[in-house]
Amino acid sequence: MALDLFSPASLGSIALKNRMVMAPLTRNRAGEGGVPQALNVTYYEQRATAGLIITEATPISPMAHGYPALPGVYTDAQVAGWKKITDAVHDKGGKIVLQLWHVGRISHPSLLPNGELPVAPSAIKPAGKAFTYQGLVDYVEPRALDVSELPAIVADYVHATQCALAAGFDGVEIHAANGYLLDQFLRDGTNKRTDNYGGSFENRVRLLMEVTKAVVAVAGSDKVGIRISPVNPFNDMHDSNPQALFNYVAETLNQFNLAYLHVLEGGVHGGGIADPFDFVALRKLFKNA
């Protein structure tokens, strides 16, 4: 039976007035301190007739930034700025979830506190250039995260989720796609670790599962989605066996009874040619939307 795009739908406990979902789109329009401003409010309010808006990817901490003028979701001022946006969307009858983001190696010291190196699962410099306040500059070799640092990153996701809920969001989406930190742990082109976070599928998905478990504990599984991009080559990404890896990801995520899985087909941003992938097979493995 064909579905009407204008008929209601549900993603977990998020009731949508129609079946159109606005994808996350990075805008680089935040004010000082990563605080959403009037321009951001207008932007989202204009699009509130969509059944659901997924916000632009939003850094969960100062170390999670990778581009200029991004809105964050970890300070009181940022929460207050986002609250104006969620109020405006809700006043128009829309629903909105916030996309939680850590860029990992796709950053530059000039964008990070005290000029620190970007962090990653392994110290592998990405091809390409970083977009900074000074223009395009070469990426640097990131610092490989020590296993002792990973609980603090999980805690950053928890704090950001708490901030998102305080700002009035209807849920959150964990960004595990497009070559950013969680995707860097998933794919073996960027993850060369030999500890419990590298090697096997089970090990490479471990951080994503820890983040998901922690975020679900705060928001409830019915308000949490995840975005993946199995074969997107953007940000110098690849994997030796993406079908088997992401089939495993989808099946393993079923334990959380999530609101939805958001899957990017193919590639974006002219980042190369995507490997062949059976998205229908992946869809059959995930139990929810």
92 within 8 A of 45, measured Cβ to Cβ: yes
Q: Which run of H or of E encompasses 280?
A: helix 279-285
43 within 8 A of 26, measured Cβ to Cβ: no
Rounded to whole angstroms, the Cα distance separating 227 from 57 reads 11
Q: Which run of H or of E encompasses 206?
A: helix 206-219
Residue 82 sits at φ, ψ, to 5 deg, of -70, -30
DSSP-based three-state secondary structure for 222: helix
Q: Is 139 a catalytic residue?
A: no
Cβ neighbours, 10 Å, residue 220: 15
Annotated catalytic residue within 74, 180, 197, 248: 180
Rounded to whole angstroms, the Cα distance separating 84 from 81 reads 6
If we measure between CA atoms, which residue out of 243, 220, 111 comes closest to residue 165?
A: 220
Rounded to whole angstroms, the Cα distance separating 129 from 211 reads 28
40 within 8 A of 9, measured Cβ to Cβ: no
Rounded to whole angstroms, the Cα distance separating 22 from 19 reads 10
> What are the residue numbers of the active site?
180
